[in-house]
Amino acid sequence: MFLKRFLTVAALAILGVPLATGARPAQQSPTMTGIDVLEAQNFAPLHGKRVGLITNQTGVDSKGRRTIDVLKSAPDVKLVALFSPEHGIEGRADAKVGDATDSASGLAIYSLYGDTRRPTPAMLTNLDAMVFDIQDAGVRFYTYTTTMAYCMEEAAKAHVAFYVLDRPNPLGGEIIEGPMLDPDKLSFVGYFPMPIRYAMTMGELAQMFNAENKIGADLHVIALQNWKRSEPYSETGVKWISPSPNLRSLTEDYFYPGLEILQAGGVSVGRGTDAPFEIFGAPWIDGDDLAKELSHRRIPGVQFSPTQFTPSQDLYAGLSCGGVLLRLAPHGDLRSMRMGIEIADALHKMYPDKFQIDKILTLLGSQATLDRIKHGDSPSGIVKGWTPDLDKFRDVRAKYLLYR
């Protein structure tokens, strides 16, 4: 189905979440990502090294050239192999991915979302360095962070140096939100005990993982230049490239952490429509009633309207779903996890026999938060209850920040 986009540039700019593909004031220098900085250094850190590159479609430089091709032609650098994360080297797959060959470079592509989620010792044979260049989503359960960490672990065991070509966090570098991951719930969608929105770059995360988990990797971060934590992604000059099939815009990325936790409970989050993470619903939801209830709650930064949609794939494929359309409010400060908890609370109260609330635990990652929702505690109270743990996380996180 096709839904009209309701967001305006003005509204998004007020929120610091514009849909621009990288415009910034002319007087400011554009942000240089890690690959751009590496090019400016004439690839000196990699000279004489045989390199394995972990990347996908987001790994491009400021001229739009694939990092694959840039490193393939770099002087005194030998690019030996490629490694792809979930969704594959082109970011199009929504299932397991097999090994392949890159048609342009002729290099082997080892899938880290197929038969294995870690590079094997055989894959690391004859490598001096692994290089990571992937844009993440800024969300704890987005699997690219775990892929990076697993590669760091295996590189450390094989005595292979590890380089992160850093990129801005698309959700910014300041807002930390959501419950901490329970230590007993570590998994591929939760590598490290941290909140759902952690406000760190991949380079900063790599430093934290390496030190706190005692990985022992020979880690090198090629840091960003001309980026500060308060700067929205849309003002960096870095083009937005969808990191996966259903995160097609910055707007969807902002809604993503709050909505994605709901899907396991039996709610479509818009996959199989032209507006994933801007709508959600189910055949058993009355969109008018739910939109009215959520609007009555006056959740900061977001507006709700009833809608009807039929997904073409994924959950409820071919079934008409009553649901809600999300719009960023023209004035407000969106906290996507506050929004997600409010929606979960409303669904649990309005549809207790349909919404399978216990199943949201996998991505929510906090038994205490789930218990409080089920108990009927106020969402605002639940959010305030995260504060002590988030303060402790801030203290840990502060040791690994590269940018101010």
CATH number for the domain that contains residue 69: 3.40.50.12170
Quick: pLDDT tens for 193-206.
Answer: 999 999 999 999 99
Q: Residue 233: which of 33, 392, 52 has the closest Cα?
A: 33
The confidence score (pLDDT) of residue 29 equals 86
Indicate whether 135 and 268 sit together in one domain.
no
Residue 347 lies in a domain: yes
Query: Confidence band (pLDDT; 50, 70, 90) for 23?
Result: low
Across 293-313, average pLDDT? 97
Same-domain status, 36 and 152 = yes
Strand 177-180 to 161-165 pairing: unpaired
Please indicate, yes or no, whether residues 161 and 287 belong to a single structural domain of this protein.
Answer: no
Res 27 pLDDT > 90: no
Residues 204 and 256 grouped into a single domain: no
Q: Which two tokens mark 305? A: 């309207």
Is the model's pLDDT at 272 over the cut of 90?
yes
Q: Tokens for 296?
A: 């009555």
- Report residue 7's pLDDT band, with 50, 70 and 90 as the boundaries: very low
Q: Is residue 278 located within the same domain as residue 144?
A: no
Domain hosting residue 112, numbered range: 29-238
Do residue 214 and residue 250 come from a single domain?
A: no
**Rounded Cα gap, residues 42 and 39, in angstroms:** 5
The pLDDT score that the predictor gives to residue 20 is 39
Tell me which of 7-16, 23-32, 128-137 is least confident. Answer: 7-16
* pLDDT at position 342: 98
**pLDDT confidence of residue 3:** 38
The answer to whether position 346 is within a domain reads: yes
The pLDDT confidence band at residue 14, using thresholds 50, 70 and 90, is very low
Mean of pLDDT values over 321-342? 93
**What's this model's pTM, rounded to 2 decimal places?**
0.93
- What is the reported pLDDT for 333? 84
More confident residue, 333 or 213: 213
DSSP per-residue codes, 84-97: E-TTTTTT--SS--
**Residue 6: its pLDDT value, please?**
32
262 and 198 together in one domain = no
CA–CA separation, 208 and 202 (whole Å): 10
168 and 259, same domain (yes or no): no
User: Do residues 301 and 327 lie in contact, with contact meaning Cβ atoms separated by under 8 Å?
Assistant: no
Return the closest-CA partner of residue 257 out of 312, 183, 327, 176: 176
Kindly state whether residue 305 falls inside one of the protein's structural domains.
Answer: yes
Question: Which pLDDT belongs to residue 2?
Answer: 36
Give me the DSSP letters along 274-310. SSBTTEEEETT--HHHHHHHHHHTT-TTEEEEEEEE-
Query: The CATH number of the domain where 329 resides is what?
Result: 3.90.1150.140
- Looking at the fold, whether 176 and 210 belong to one and the same domain comes out as yes
Give the residue-averaged pLDDT of 49-70.
Answer: 98
State the chain's mean pLDDT as an integer. Answer: 93
Confidence of residue 4 (pLDDT cuts 50, 70, 90): very low
Model pLDDT, residue 33: 98
- Is residue 315 a contact partner of residue 271, using CB atoms and an 8 Å limit? yes
The whole-number average pLDDT for the span 62-68 is 98
Number of compact structural domains in the chain:
2
- pLDDT at 249 (0 to 100): 95
Residue 264 pLDDT > 60: yes
